[in-house]
Amino acid sequence: MEVTHQKIAEKAGLSRSTVSRALRNHPAIPEATRIRVKTAARELNYRADPMISALMSRVRHGLPPGVPPVIGYVSAASARDWRTKPSLRQIHSGATERAEQLGYRLEEFMLSDKSEAGPSLNRILVARNVQGLLVAPAGEPAYDLRLDWNRFASVAIGYELQQEGIHRVRANHFQGMTLALEQLRQRGYRRIGAVLPSRLDNRLRNRWAAAFLLDRQQHGDPDPDALLLAKYETVRQSFWEWLEKWRPEAVIGPYGSVFDWIQRTGKRVPEDLAFVTLGHLPGQTHLAGVNQRLDLLGALAVNVVTEQLHQNARGLDAAARTILLDSHWVPGPSVGRSQLKG
């Protein structure tokens, strides 16, 4: 049975208009009344209709009929990276599709100079009546964005944006590394190594490295040389030297290019050395790896923003949440030993 605002009003002993405003966190409604309404809604298992919520959002924002409200898609990625990196395109595609499903439109705002972008971007967003913001990852070091956050419902993907109190969604990198190790062990591999650019792992709060080292300790093999952490500028040369010295049976790397590095040594994959990528992308049918489901990550970010918009919630949150999205395993010919072991 559909739960309407009227049913919530009857249960809470309030008017329908009061219930409607309380569910949107309208500042004119006292906190005690909002709690009373939300308690009644929860007891009735109330769920807001996203299409009706989007329609009412258009009405409240004074948009003409047929014009969807806008969610700003803010990215500090360079124009080249934005158009060429499959990972960034996947996130944007997932966010765009989900926004359209919910009756919104995604509009891109690219930051050419992050240090000066805050105030000017803020003026543009306010002038265009943008109410929701999705801050996309850029593959760059951490940065700040000086905005009047109290004007916006917001979410960030990943940790590059250094802003306390913002809701976040991100791939569960710890789980992704653990999944890769589990899959290799199930297939009989024991001497497993990993290569990680240190700057990349630092940006992920060292979750890949932590998962790898913990796994090795739990399996009674805490050899620190199993993990190669190197600077971007030297990681390829360091990898070749490490490979010759440590001689692993299988290697885990962050992206598919490590597969090319292995082949340049003359080693056969997977006959001489198995390889698993932590960032498996569509079209990489020659690789086994971990799919971070980046399109779904973009969709989840839109869900977080629209939920705030429907509740009339703006600004930063002292109890901001982080949603972790688990990765999936993608089998492929870069891993052999198909006889799984229990």
Alpha helices by DSSP H, 128-225: 173-186, 198-203, 207-218
Q: Rounded distance, CA 270 to CA 277, Å?
A: 13
φ and ψ at residue 11, rounded to 5 degrees: -70, -40
The token pair that represents 228 in the structure block: 């190669």
Q: What is the pLDDT of residue 53?
A: 54
**Sign for the pseudo-dihedral over CA of 319, 136, 144, 306:** negative
Q: Rounded distance, CA 298 to CA 278, Å?
A: 18
- CB-CB contact of 332 with 273 (8 Å): no
Q: What is the pLDDT of residue 71?
A: 95
Per-residue model confidence as pLDDT tens for the chain (342 residues): 577 787 887 777 888 778 777 776 666 778 787 778 778 887 877 766 554 555 555 555 555 555 578 999 998 776 556 667 889 899 999 999 999 999 999 999 987 655 556 778 888 998 988 999 999 987 666 777 889 999 999 999 998 888 899 999 999 999 999 999 999 999 999 999 999 999 889 889 999 999 999 999 998 877 888 999 988 788 889 999 999 999 999 999 998 889 999 999 999 999 999 999 999 999 999 999 999 999 999 999 999 999 999 888 899 999 999 999 999 999 999 999 654 444
Q: What is the pLDDT of residue 254?
A: 94
Please classify residue 235 by burial: count the beta carbons closer than 10 Å to its beta carbon, then call 0-12 exposed, 13-18 middle and 19+ buried. Answer: buried
| Strand ranges across the sheet with 288-291 | 227-230, 192-197, 250-253, 274-277, 288-291, 328-330
Residue whose token pair is 């299988």: 250
Q: What is the pLDDT of residue 328?
A: 97
Residue whose token pair is 């001497």: 191
Residue 101: CB partners within 8 Å, gap ≥ 6? 50
Q: Give the residues across from 324 on adjacent strands.
A: 170
Q: What is the pLDDT of residue 4?
A: 77
Q: In this structure, are strands 227-230 and 288-291 parallel, antiparallel, or unpaired?
A: unpaired
- CB-CB contact of 158 with 173 (8 Å): no
Q: Set out the domains of the chain in order of their start, with CATH numbers.
A: 5-47 (no CATH), 173-292 (3.40.50.2300)
Q: Rounded distance, CA 43 to CA 275, Å?
A: 51
